[in-house]
Structure 1
């Protein structure tokens, strides 16, 4: 009786396997890709070479079929199928996200394939049959990879599997369900529990993909994922915390020189301009001109100092409201009413008579001077 039951079960399993191989497993046709694919502009007519998003999850696919004609493909979701080879995706070099988890993949493409994927940032390979550590070494050549999943595969049980991937893919920030900590990439780096690798602080739950995959929804999904990763690194990476504090200190120091002491900053600018013209300003305030006599130095320095003093006065007296003041009030940017509550302008100082000077022309020079 037992032998009969085994024969019946084996026959049923053979028939079911034959039925699945001949009926259920399909190759993605052009009509299926146009039906499930999306373009960046949903109001245009769908064309195979302009499809940017394709979601064929759980469609019993055995190969890639007409996906090789989707040259503009950016988001490719082929999870929960029976695909064993993804080499044909070399015709889609603009991929940003590739999801092929829960398939029958045993070997990955070579280095040339991954080096051409210059835009690929998210790669889901978990729940496959990848068992050899050498088979994942071509991933080292992927130039922009940020998120990679290989859990629930035989290769994830190999000793130092995570160490090899983290230290060979320099752009990687997330491996499996954990954000990469500084302790994993810096030798002999010891931190407290809140910065320790593989701690609950670095655990990340990958967001569920949208049920209806469109270009906008997939971009929003990728943006949320990267925002979550960057938020964890901002608070749990000592290197980034130190860099942030140093950049803030240097920025505040630079701004304090320019804005907290504007007169000194303006004088340094004027001294720099004079130095370019051959006029040097010494620490004691004296000036000298290169390659000239003492009289020429005095005349040149006097003329240049008068011009620069005039420019400096205009800069110092310029107010934020760009109004012409009477001259008895300080600059609006520095004056506070609370500092001078009893200050009242005098009419005699406001309405001062103006004197006009006649110009004097020198026929031997082009300069015009005022008397």
Structure 2
């Protein structure tokens, strides 16, 4: 087998070894068998909370064990393909096997990072808030582009993506919006996106075709599920109802179905207008408020446990994390990790995994990287 293939196989085997040790395959297999047996119990759903917890654990173990088994099968098939190609002088078959190995190497590295998403809320669904910065129409349009980018990322991942709230800009774009992205480790991946995002481009709103710089802020916080208890005193909150803005038909425009909740002690404000029912919007808004208060507590814990000022500002609200340059050249650059893409169109279409993976790897390594911004 040629040197490139041998190197890839070695890397893949190392990744699998780390994954097996992290998972403890023998223990995980026994545990999955126990969960499968319990799942067949007719009385399982008599306790809905316990049943949901069991099914979550079962799904997670099935995914991790299944992915390991699939990587091993695909590795064996790719090695066989490369060896047959060499034996028969079939360069195309040999290259196809090498390409499969490259894909498996990337998958193994991604799974390694995912296995290390062990934060208290990393496995949860997530809220994503996008807010336009100063700059009027330009920033509102940039916020709309970011909103679409995260919706496309979620769809690429096979996650469920719901728009909880959207406030339209005065002329174009959005002033703010909130997404709910539902899927395994949605928060663990998306939390790397919190911060300020900068766009440089020739403005489509400028008749003189001048270059403009726009800013928008992204705030990511986890959906609080039934495992996490967050007490919120309703007496500490102000609840407002109002007519929803934006598209939605006559009902949206004529009824006060949108709900805004202000938590007076902290100043946290959440809003939901995605449903026609005020009752449903109220329930969603309460969930968002509990999540924001929980995220605030997590931030306090992290700040208290972190002495290094650089790490405390790494994903802090109000700190620029990434620049997207469309003119006079094309580049997306992450200022925390130095990761660069020369195809902004792909990034804005949801190709964010390389940036997220680089950010997680950087955070896990504990390295401090100072990267100059692009002009």
- TM-score class, shorter-chain normalisation, is under 0.3
More helix by share: 2
Larger Rg: 1 or 2? 1
The structure showing larger relative contact order (alpha-carbon pairs under 8 Å, at least 6 residues apart) is 2
More strand by share: 2
TM-score scaled by length of structure 2: 0.21
